[in-house]
Chain A
Amino acid sequence: MITFDQVVKRYPGSHEALTNVSFTIDQGEMIYVTGHSGAGKSTLLKLMAAIERPTSGTVLINNQNVSKLKASSLPFIRRKFGFVFQDHKLLYDRNCYHNVALPLLINGVTGTEAGKRIRAALDKVGLLGKEKAMPITLSGGEQQRLAIARAVVSKPSILIADEPTGNLDKNYAEDIIALFSAFQQVGVTVIIATHDALGNATYQNKVLRLNQGSLVADGVRS
């Protein structure tokens, strides 16, 4: 589903953020991307979601080569993904309902169909009662869940989350991870970047461990 082959990403005026990274992610997998801050986790996720393009090497998403795509077709690749950003990127000028509505607007889904899907997504993350609340009034954990609702509302086949448990206490973090594995169980590919030692999670999942831009481990954690 997602294949990286000898991928290098270099930002202008800095060292290589990623060096010769190669791996494959299959449909329905749940993957952790780990490593210290600055190891290249966020860069890896952005390359996966076609938000950025590799400096060299090949990124294949559903057998489409991201480097060879025209800029005008990148948006359509991005719509296959649900992305939970490290800083949420919620819009504070509108309520929860309209935050979740944004991806549907982009996809041209409106009206009652949109309303149904927005409420379903909010229900899934436990925020159905707060659809009229402004995001600023939500707690950190609730904002995180709102971001997840926005990521899943257009039913993407791949869900990517950058540090979704970063600022949360352990109980909240476990809730969030449980939420992600629920999505994986219904067939969604889930990719989570995290800098901590995965807490006490007992899931048996594939781990991509990055160190200073290189992949140091690619295997199943037991």
Chain B
Amino acid sequence: MNLWLTQHLQALKLVLARFKDNILGTLLISLAIGVTLALPVILYVVLDNLGGLVSDVKKESHLSVFLKLDHDETALQNIKNELEKNTSIKSFQFVSKEDALKQLTSTNNNQDLINSLEGNPLPDAFFIEPKLLDSGSVDTLKNQLSSLEGVEQVQADDAWIKRLNYLLALGKKAMLVLTILLGFALFAVIGNTVRMQILTQQEEIEVSQLIGATKGFICRPFLYSGALYGLFGGLFALLISSAIILLFNQSLAALSVEYQTNFTLNLPNITIFAATCLLAISIGLVSAYLAVSKSLFNSFN
């Protein structure tokens, strides 16, 4: 146990000393890994935040039922009764055309435009909050309401949310593909770096083998350097992505004031932090292992 620990500490110290001797090279490689990993991290943070926004909005989703302009009182009463009977409706609210015009007048700045209207162009309307929010039951309800006497149009205002959800799903797939492709690029970068190191240490490796070094003794420093490249790269990725997200947030702040929300992107949390570092370390370790086992023991007897 003690010997095992000594051997690992030895390898780690050796690798850190080599990194220190070549600090610029180490920084540049870590930076390259960091930039590569920062892209999927940023994409993930943006998608995750938008997803949160969508599920907030979805809770407020409802149906708008607009009545024909020339409907009569019985049709209105009929519809009201139907809505009260319908079990898939949580609550509804009637807004008469007069109320609607009042609301419009109070919120619209362009009074001239409203004053220039000859009559009231707005229909009577019901605003309905359904019990179930999945698109299937909303569609069924929409069809039921459209067939009622005196109904001009039923609008489900979650159509854009649906489209946004499809876009988000597409974005998540794109992120996955990007991560996999960039992961392969990292394999190549780290693998090649470790192979170069093996080449420069060729003499030492040969002598060590001749005087009784085990495979483990020879491989260990290279595996450590692969893993450390991954770790440093992962840390750089989080620094870079955090900086870029803060930059985005400056512009988003101005934009969300216009929309009267306070939407900002969250910085990578501890889960993303751990996942990025672990992913980077394992890519580093595996590619170093492949490089070592490929180029080190071809001539070992």
Contacts and interface: CB of A to CB of B under 8 A. Distances in A.
Interface of A: 51-53, 71-72, 75-79, 81, 83, 85, 89, 91-93, 102-103, 105-108, 110
B7 A89 contact: no
Interface in B189-227: 203-204, 206-215, 217
A89 B208 contact: no
12 contacts: A51-B210, A76-B214, A77-B212, A78-B210, A78-B211, A91-B203, A91-B204, A91-B207, A102-B204, A102-B211, A106-B211, A108-B10
Contact of A106 (B203, B206, B212, B300): B212
Contacts of B208: 102, 106
B301 interface: yes
B10 A83 contact: no
Nearest to A103: B211
A108 B211 contact: no
- Chain B: interface residue count, which band? 10 to 19
The 9 closest A-B pairs by CB, nearest first: A78-B212, A79-B212, A75-B212, A106-B213, A75-B214, A89-B207, A108-B3, A103-B211, A108-B6
A191 to B, nearest CB: 16
Given A78-B210, A83-B211, A91-B203, A106 B217 contact: yes
A79 B6 contact: no
A110 B212 contact: no
Contact of B301 (A52, A85, A89, A92): A52
B198 to A, nearest CB: 14
A118 to B, nearest CB: 15
* Chief secondary structure at chain B's binding surface: helix
A149 to B, nearest CB: 13
A75 to B, nearest CB: 5
A26 B214 CA distance: 28
Given A78-B212, A103-B212, A105-B10, A71 B207 contact: no
Contacts of B6: 108, 110
A156 to B, nearest CB: 9
A129 B234 CA distance: 46
Contacts of B206: 89
A71 B206 CA distance: 16
B10 A71 contact: no
A110 B122 CA distance: 89
A79 B217 CA distance: 13
Contacts of A53: 301
B211 A79 contact: yes
Interface string B1-45: 001001100100000000000000000000000000000000000
A53 B7 CA distance: 28
Contacts of A77: 212
B196 to A, nearest CB: 15
B210 A85 contact: yes
A83 B212 CA distance: 10
Nearest to A79: B212
A78 B10 CA distance: 21
A146 to B, nearest CB: 13
A107 B217 CA distance: 10
A109 B171 CA distance: 55
Contacts of A76: 212, 214
B11 to A, nearest CB: 10
